[in-house]
A and B are shown apart, each in its own frame.
Chain A
Amino acid sequence: MSPAHAWKEAGKLTLPVMFGYLPLGAAYGILAVEVGVPWWAAVLMSLIIYAGAGQFLAVALLAAGAGLVELAVATLMLNSRHLFYGLSLLKRFQGAGWRKPYMIFALTDETYSLITTLPNVHGNDHLLAFRISLLNQIWWVLGSILGVLAGTTLTFNSQGIEFALTALFIVLTLEQARRLRRWLPFAIALLTGLVGIWLVPDRHLLLSAIGAASLILLFHYSLDRHRETRT
């Protein structure tokens, strides 16, 4: 297969992601400019951070004047799901050579889904995964640039577009619920989230709620283990 043809094939596979990343990237770009992030910084974030929800969160924390420790912890927590993507790709990425660091860097939800649903083909497997990873980031960066341009030049009333973030989290929660079919994590989230709103100052809310939820999950794990060893 000629390189041009191979890129075209990979491009076809990334079409659904393109339809998602262009508008979502644009929403991110518009939001970033809206809260006062310079255009170059918004595009730089899409180039070197490259995380959908993570970048929305970063822009929100930037606007709220959050500190670096809070930013780092919130980002680690929000993206902790990536840890488990990596675990399942350890074997898959073996032997990918110089492309491997980039493929790890570019491991978003959508790229992970595409790569893991690909039929296991020998030979150009790593090359195809690499092309998909790169094309997806190109869609995301293009979307961001479109959003930044729309945000700075068009007289488009974007008041309320930040709701896209809330909508994204609702969709992800529903997807998680559909996959897991357990009420426990959602009960823990309700408890820690609502108690957090009640007791904790706004800028520490996310961190405290997620930290408390992790502790409860650890406790739940040890209870489970305890029960197993007794029976």
Chain B
Amino acid sequence: MSTSALLIFIIVCALATFATRVTPFVALARHADHPLILHLGRYLPPTVMMILVIYALRDFRPLLDGHLNAGANGWPMIIASLIVALLHLWRRNALLSIIGGTGGYMAMVQLGWVV
């Protein structure tokens, strides 16, 4: 990718991000209480988060050549996801959950802890 294409990519992403932050301040001030806005504001974010989890786990392949798949797209991603969820339900510390799960995943993928 050329430098100019990369710059355009970053600028588009920056503008899209800023747009989501600035829009209510310039446009939606008078409609803040519209029920449709409230409805989407309530339900869209959790829906998007869950879709992102599914998206992130989409490559999961339980079996590889008839054996349990211990590679990067195998059981380590499911076990590490469970570590994240359990740590988070237990301590509710986002940082701990993320570091614990990622560390576990890296260990399993790099050292082959899953047999």
Binding site for B on A (CB under 8 A): 19-20, 23-24, 27, 37-38, 41, 44-45, 48-51, 53-55, 58, 62, 68, 71-72, 75-87, 90, 93, 104-105, 107, 157-161, 163-177, 180, 182, 184-186, 188-190, 192-194, 197, 202, 205-206, 209-210, 213-214, 217-218, 220-221, 224-225
Q: Are A49 and B10 touching (Cβ within 8 A)?
A: yes
CA distance A105 to B15 in the complex (A): 10
Q: Are B55 and A193 touching (Cβ within 8 A)?
A: yes
Determine the interface band of chain B, counting residues with CB < 8 A from chain A.
35 or more
Known: A19-B95, A23-B95, A170-B81. A81 touches B44 (CB 8 A): yes
Shortest distance from the beta carbon of B99 to any chain A beta carbon, whole Å:
7
Binding site for A on B (CB under 8 A): 1, 6-25, 28-29, 32, 35-37, 39-58, 72, 76-77, 80-81, 84-85, 88-89, 94-95, 97-99, 101-102, 105-106, 108-110
Q: Are B47 and A104 touching (Cβ within 8 A)?
A: no
Shortest distance from the beta carbon of B113 to any chain A beta carbon, whole Å:
12
Q: Are A54 and B13 touching (Cβ within 8 A)?
A: yes
Known: A166-B77, A170-B81, A170-B85. A78 touches B48 (CB 8 A): yes
Chain B residues near A168 (CB, 8 Å)?
94, 98
CA distance A155 to B70 in the complex (A): 25
Shortest distance from the beta carbon of A52 to any chain B beta carbon, whole Å:
11
Q: Are A167 and B80 touching (Cβ within 8 A)?
A: yes
Q: Are B109 and A160 touching (Cβ within 8 A)?
A: yes
Chain A residues near B84 (CB, 8 Å)?
166-167, 170-171
